[in-house]
Amino acid sequence: MEKSKYRILILGGGAGGISLAARLARSVSPDQIAIVDPAESHFYQPMWTIAGAGLVPKETTRKKQSTLIPHGVTWLRETVISVDPGNKKVKLSHDLSIEYDYLVVATGLRLAWEKIEGLEGNLGKNGICTVYDYNQVDYTAQQIQRFQGGTAIFVMPPVPIKCAGAPQKIMYLAENVFRLNGVRHKSKVIFATAGKAMFGIPTFSNALAEIVKEKGIEPKYMHKISGVDAEKKEAIFDVTDADGKVTKQSLKFDLLHVVPPMTAHSYVAESGLAFEAGDQKGWLEVDKHTLQHLKYPEIFGIGDVTGVPNSKTGAAVRSQYPVVAENLLAVMSGKKPTASYNGYSSCPLITEIGKVMLAEFGYDGKLMPTFPLDPAVPRKMMWHLKKDILPHLYWQVMLRGWA
C-alpha cells in the first residue's frame, strides 16, 4: 500500500537505486522504503556497446523493473518533479507529494541531445547512430554491419559523461567488423574527441594512442561536436587550436556515431540540491567520500547524478552503494557517517572483438587494478569478464545488494 511518508525515499531505480534498496531492506523494514521511478524496464547499459556492434541481441540487456524491486519495498511509478529539502517533501507527477525522513538521489543523468544543433529528429537516419539509447542500438548495429566503406566518425563529447570509454569501444568493435566484412581498406575511421588525449589517465591514454595508430584510426583532438547537417551528411565541430582559438570545421560522414554532452536532471539544481559553481556545477552537492549532501545531512547521493570528480560508471555505483548504505544507517542512529568512497571506477575498454583493457582507477587518476597484471594490456580474459561475468554479477549480485 502506498503511503504519504516513507522513512527512506530513493529517487531513481537504476543501478544505484535498486542495489541500495536491496541492501537497506536487510537492516530496515522494507515497508519503510520507497523507490520513485516511472520506467517499466531496467537496462544493463554496459552491454549496449556490444549489442550496438550486432554481437548480442539488445533484448538481453533489459528486464522488467517489477522483477527487480526488492520484496516489500514500495515502487512509486512516478517522475520526480522537485524536492523541497527544507520541508522534506518530494513533488511527483500526477500532483503527488511524498514526505521523507531520509532521501537518496539516484536519478542518473540526462543526455543533452539538444546541445547538438540539427540532430533533433535525425537520430536513426542518414547513418547517424548511437549506443547511448536502447532504441537506437539496432539501427547502430545495422549501420556497422552493413557499412560498405566511406568515412565513419565516432564522436566523444566533453566529460563528464557516463562511461567515458564507450564512445571508443563501439569504434574499435566497428573497425573490427569492417575488417571482417572486407570493407576496411575502403573505410576511413575517425575518432573526433573534445579532449586532448584518448583517455583521461596517461597509462591508458598512451596505450590507446598506440592502438589507434596500429589500426590506422585517425584521432582528431579538441574537436567538440556542435551540430549536424543530416541532409548533407556533415558533422560540425568547434575545433580549438593550441592558442585556444576556436573555429568551425565540417567533416563529411557516411556513418556518424554520436554521443551528446550530459547533465544532471534539471530538478536537482532547481531544488537547490546542486553545486552552484565550479567543475561540479549542476551535479548533486555531496561530499566526495561520504556521499552525504553538504547542506542537508539527511540526503545522500549515488551514481551518475553525484557531483564527485570520479568517472561515471556502474562500477563506481558498485563501490558507492555499500558506503551510502552504511553512512545512511549511521546517520539514522545518530552517528557520524564514517564509510568512505575512494573514487573507484572501472572502464573495460574493448579494443577489438574478444579483447579488453581493464582500466580501474580512483580519485586523482590513482590506478586501482584488481588483478596483478599490467592493466594497459588488452586481454582475452577481460573480454570474458566484461561480456559474460559482469552482466551476471550485475543482475544476480549487485542488484540484490550483495555489492
Ligand X SMILES: Cc1cc2nc3c(=O)[nH]c(=O)nc-3n(C[C@H](O)[C@H](O)[C@H](O)COP(=O)(O)OP(=O)(O)OC[C@H]3O[C@@H](n4cnc5c(N)ncnc54)[C@H](O)[C@@H]3O)c2cc1C
Minimum CB–partner distance for residue 65 and ligand X (Å)? 8
Q: What's the rounded Cα separation, in Å, for the pair 315 and 365?
A: 15
DSSP label at 91? E
Catalytic (active site) residue 129: no
If one asks whether residue 312 binds ligand X (CB under 6 A), the answer comes out as: yes
If one asks whether residue 154 binds ligand X (CB under 6 A), the answer comes out as: no
Minimum CB–partner distance for residue 314 and ligand X (Å)? 3
Longest dimension (CA), the chain: 66
Catalytic (active site) residue 163: yes
Nearest to 124 by CA among 113, 132, 136: 136
Complex with ligand X: residue 30 or 303, whichever CB lies closer: 303
Minimum CB–partner distance for residue 398 and ligand X (Å)? 10
Residues 197-256 that bind ligand X (CB under 6 A): none
If one asks whether residue 16 binds ligand X (CB under 6 A), the answer comes out as: yes
Candidate list 9, 21, 25, 36; residue touching ligand X; CB under 6 A: 36
Please tell me whether residue 270 adopts helix, strand or coil conformation: helix
CA distances to 147, 168, 344 from 203, in Å = 33, 16, 16
Which region among 176-184, 189-197, 224-232, 303-311 touches ligand X (by CB under 6 A)?
Answer: 303-311
If one asks whether residue 79 binds ligand X (CB under 6 A), the answer comes out as: yes
Cell of 144: 556497422
If one asks whether residue 195 binds ligand X (CB under 6 A), the answer comes out as: no
Q: What's the rounded Cα separation, in Å, for the pair 360 and 376?
A: 10
Residues 254-273 that bind ligand X (CB under 6 A): 265
- CA atoms within 13 A of residue 302's CA, in its CB half-sphere: 30
Complex with ligand X: residue 127 or 260, whichever CB lies closer: 260
From 18, 68, 163, 350, the catalytic residue = 163
Candidate list 235, 273, 315, 325; residue touching ligand X; CB under 6 A: 315
Which residue minimizes CB distance to ligand X?
14
Contact 125, 231 (CB under 8 A): no
Which region among 23-31, 42-50, 120-128, 204-212 touches ligand X (by CB under 6 A)?
Answer: 42-50
Nearest to 226 by CA among 238, 239, 208, 210: 238
Q: Binding mask 45-64 vs ligand X (x if CB under 6 A, - otherwise)? A: xx-xx---------------
Candidate list 32, 61, 74, 107; residue touching ligand X; CB under 6 A: 107
Residues 371-400 that bind ligand X (CB under 6 A): none
Nearest to 294 by CA among 344, 264, 337: 337
If one asks whether residue 401 binds ligand X (CB under 6 A), the answer comes out as: no
Cell of 387: 561480456
Candidate list 105, 236, 317, 359; residue touching ligand X; CB under 6 A: 317
If one asks whether residue 282 binds ligand X (CB under 6 A), the answer comes out as: no
Cell of 167: 564512445
DSSP label at 73? -
Minimum CB–partner distance for residue 234 and ligand X (Å)? 25
What are the beta bridge partners of residue 247? 239
Number of H helices, E strands in the chain: 9, 21
If one asks whether residue 132 binds ligand X (CB under 6 A), the answer comes out as: yes
CA dihedral 317, 321, 323, 329 (to 10 degrees): 160
168's CB contacts (< 8 A; 6+ apart) are 154, 156, 191, 198, 208, 349
Catalytic residue positions? 163, 347
Binding site for ligand X (CB under 6 A): 11-17, 36-39, 45-46, 48-49, 79-80, 106-108, 131-132, 162-163, 166, 265, 303-305, 312-315, 317, 346, 348
